[in-house]
Structure 1
């Protein structure tokens, strides 16, 4: 493998693993020590401001509604999520975040905002544009591999 390719590969693998590890450690050592990274990502998929159907959330997470139901049950027990059925069609289940769930969402959002701020701190506008363009191409590549 050409040196540039090896360096890029090593950086991408290390970045991916480091982000996951930092998220896990932040959860374990912070106010959200009762949450897993997967549970936190479920909270993010539910979102802050409106109720969502279980089907919508499952689709965003690319999991089955059954798998999501198990995760939601745990999050309800922990006090992060509430669930209700709509009267017009009792088959439709809506979920939304509690105050505690919204706090978890905001803390996770701050983690990501801090990560981005530190990444682009001291970077020129041109370098920032190149970084964004490169990451967009990488994202397109990964999306093509998900089929």
Structure 2
């Protein structure tokens, strides 16, 4: 692989990543969401968590519990999340999304759906795109695992 190809791949990956983040932030702000992407992704991780425990949510986001606590404190102050003591094991707190969180999650899902639909409209062979993205994802997953 030539140096020019390596440079192009690097520039494309960085450019795509930055554009998606910028588009996602802009989309959310246009729809009245005044949360950071970190906070939105935290709500999404809580929503997808089976246990709703801090440790599981932090693990799914690949962050420390301390970092998650900072986000949860802000989200709790703003009325998006509550910490509720588990009825069976009083040592455990569960994260509960408040109603206003679901509006945020609906808009977040809508952005992702529109993005995927737009990408798929640009391609002729969906399975080739899916395979290529899956291979990239696997590559980055391996890098993460090797560096932890």
TM-score, normalised relative to structure 1 = 0.88
* Structure-to-structure mapping, 1:1-147, within 5 angstroms: 1-33=2-34, 35-47=35-47, 52-124=52-124, 127-147=125-145
- Across the two proteins, how many residue pairs are aligned to each other? 144
CA distance in 2, matches of 1:62, 1:4: 31
CA contact (8 A) 1:82 1:96 kept: yes
What TM-score results when the alignment is normalised by the length of structure 2? 0.87
| 8 A Cα contact 1:27 1:36, kept in partner | no
Measure, in 1, the Cα distance between the counterparts of 2:64 and 2:136: 27
Question: Which stretches in structure 2 are left out of the alignment for 5+ residues?
Answer: none
Deviation digits for residues 12-44 of structure 1, max 9, x if unmatched? 2111010111122223343112x0010000011
Q: What are the superposed Cα offsets for residues 86-108 of structure 1, whole Å, 9 maximum, x if unpaired?
A: 13222211012111101101100
Q: CA-atom RMSD, angstroms?
A: 1.9
